[in-house]
Structure formats: structure tokens, C-alpha cells
Amino acid sequence: MCFLKRNYGWMIVAILAVLPLIPLSKMIQADFSNGLQLSLVENIGARGKTTLEMMYHVSGEFAIRWLTAVLTCTPFYILFGVRNLFVRQAMGIASAIWSILHFIIFIWAEGLITTFSQFNYVAGLLAVLIMIPLMLTSNRKSMSRLKQKWKTLQQFAWAAIVLSLLHVAILEKTWLIYAIVVGIGLILRIPTIKDRIISLRKKKKQITTVKI
């Protein structure tokens, strides 16, 4: 019970991150009759997309959703006083895994050389490369070993989200939603605004406690 109580947030994030893999797995057919051969189940894509295009779209969408969620953790703490560092780490790992999966699907569809053919593809690649060390250091052992350097390293998540937004902005319009969320988060992080909100929140909590 202690383990569940201490790690329930991490487990919820893990479940939410894995669930979208279920419909994606139905798009791939495995054949073991002559070794392992993977093929796509066609005519399963939605909105006129091929199966491969649908896999590419879904993986990219969840990658940027999780990365945006990671960067809203601090603003959420500023507004509500709720903080769980290890849940944020779990979100970061989920974002990195979906980003890597998205890149693998892209290579499968277009080939590695195509990655360097357009600016938005290069931006996406750089975002993935940044996410890898962030994922590998999202654990207690790395925090203890790197100490202050760990926080500095994690700041590169902002570079990853900017590159991801550039990547998505050229491809589709949904980038604006994520840009607004990240922008609001940045505004809330401004020291004067942050301190004011935290001060008001604490005063409200004290008043509520006195009334009780």
C-alpha cells in the first residue's frame, strides 16, 4: 500500500501514456511464419489518411501533448500549490518515448535522409535529440549525482518545446493551442507575477484555516 500511495501519480501517467499504443498496435500486423515480418493494416486510417500517416500523426500529437503537460507542472504549482516532481519526470519520459516513436515512424515512412530536407523536419529531429538525455536523467539517481546541474539540464525542455512548436506550426494549425498553453505558463513564471499569485494563494489558505 505504501508503494501505491507513494507512486500513484507516476502509475497514472504511465497508464495514460501507454493507452494510445493499443489502437496503434492494431495498425501493425506481425507474421511469424517466416521469421518476424511486420506489415501495416491498410484502410484503418481516419480523415483520408493512410495507416502510416495516421500513426505518424497520433505519435506526434501525443509527444507534444506530454511535453506541454511537463511544462505546465510549475504553473500548476504556482496557481494551486500542488507539486509532485516525480509525476513531472514520468510525463517527461512519456514525452520522450512518444517523440522517439514519432521519429522512428517518420524514418519508416520517409527515410532518414528526408529528415534533413526541410527546416521543420530538422527542428523535430533536434527536439528528439534534446529529449533523449532529459529522459535518461529523469530519475532519482541522476538527480542525486548531478545535483544543481540536473536542474540546468532539465531547462533544455524549453528548447525542445520551441523546436516542437516550430515543427508542428509548419505542418498544421493545432500548434497554436500548445503555444498558448506554454505562453501562459511562461507569463506565470515571471517572478513578480509568480510571487504575487503564491502570496495571494497563501493568504487565502490562511483565511480559510482561521474560519474553520
Element (H, E) at 4: helix 2-18
Model confidence pLDDT, tens digit, residues 64-123: 889 888 888 888 888 887 776 678 888 888 999 999 999 998 888 888 898 898 888 899
**Structural contact between residues 97 and 17, judged by C-beta atoms closer than 8 angstroms:** yes
Give the Å distances, CA to CA, from 52 to 24, 103, 207, 212: 10, 12, 56, 58
pTM for the model stands at 0.83
pLDDT in the model for residue 89:
83
- Residue indicated by cell numbers 509548419: 170
C-alpha closest to that of 90 among 11, 206, 168, 28: 11
Q: Where are the domains of the chain?
A: 2-211
